[in-house]
Amino acid sequence: MALTDPTDPKNAPLDAGPITDYGVRHVAIIMDGNGRWAKNKGWPRLAGHRRGAERIKEITRVAPDYGVTHLTVYAFSTENWKRSTEEVLGLMGIFSRYIEKEADALSSLGVRMRFIGSRGRLDGRLSKLMTSIEERTQHNSRLTMTVAINYGGRHELMRAGAQLAKDYAAGLISEEDLLSEAALADRLDTAGLPDPDLVIRTSGETRTSNFLAWQAAYAEYEFTETLWPDFTPARLEEILAGFGNRDRRFGGVKL
Ligand code: IPE
Ligand code: IPE
Ligand code: MG
């Protein structure tokens, strides 16, 4: 009978804590480059998206081993509706299958799933799957995994601002609260989540494409040439290890 190897991360108990803590709590990722990856191989764009979905599964499993407690990934932006119907429907199918296939594993891995973005335009079945996995995993705390689907930072800020105005008009908040950062942050889709410490964008593009406009105001950014379907746990670990050398000042002065 094969003995269980206690040094193999796969066999670590769920409450074992990180193997190497790099001090980065919240990592956000703009998963870009699926289309180019597929094109380089002469394959349809959707093949790149399918491989991209596999990558996120691996990253979710290793993130807690590196001390990450929150992982937020950009899967579909409010601007991505401009793509062909075939690509949009294909992506929505990948999201549904991802949730269906991952639900049991994520629950048992201690992952809490959350979705940000607006649900109105999404297919009813996908939207139901999203709500059901959020409910099912709400008491998990090892890793909070947030997936941004039909998400745009500006749209989120507009919705939060409108809600704030409504609450003020209804007398639910004072004039002082109306002008507080916390009151706005509480009305964002990310309410209750810490701000990201590090935002990674793959594929060599050096823009933020409307991701976490408010929340990433003081995040560190890492832009890597790696295309998302080639992004491995080892690449994540390298980036996290480099984070420790950064001097985060938050506008102050370090003596
Ligand atoms: C990112 O990959 C995934 C989504 C935006 C859904 P892209 O599809 O943008 O890939 P490129 O940028 O065309 O290579
Ligand atoms: C950003 O990538 C959105 C996601 C990764 C989901 P895009 O490929 O849509 O961004 P642009 O068009 O290059 O700015
Ligand atoms: Mg892209």
Domain range list for the chain: 20-243
Q: Which helix (H) or strand (E) holds 145?
A: strand 143-151
Q: To 10 degrees, the CA torsion angle through 245, 246, 247, 248?
A: -140
Q: Is 60 exceeded by the pLDDT of residue 155?
A: yes
The DSSP call for residue 232 is: -
Residue 73 CA: which ligand is closest?
2
> Does position 10 have pLDDT exceeding 60, yes or no?
no
Read off the pLDDT band of 32 (50, 70, 90): very high
Q: What average pLDDT does the segment 235-240 reach?
A: 97
Q: What is the DSSP letter of 110?
A: T
Q: Identify the residue whose C-alpha is closest to ligand 2 atom 3.
A: 77
Which of these CATH numbers, 1.20.1250.20, 3.90.1300.10, 3.40.50.720, 3.40.1180.10, describes 20-243? 3.40.1180.10
The C-alpha atoms of residue 29 and residue 147 are separated, in whole angstroms, by 10
Catalytic residue check, 245 = no
Mean pLDDT over 224-252 rounds to 93
Band of pLDDT at residue 1, cut at 50, 70 and 90 = very low
Q: What is the pLDDT of residue 247?
A: 84
Greater model confidence, 244 or 134: 134
Mean pLDDT across 122-129: 98
| Ligand 1 binding pocket mutation candidate from 36, 46, 223 (most atoms within 8 A of CB) | 36
Strand order in the sheet with 220-223: 111-116, 143-151, 70-77, 26-30, 198-201, 220-223
Choice among 65, 80, 186, 230 that is catalytic: 80
Neighbours of ion ligand 3 (CB under 5 A): 32
- How many A from CA of 105 to the centre of ligand 2? 28
The pTM of this model reads: 0.94
Which ligand minimizes its atom distance to the CA of 87?
1
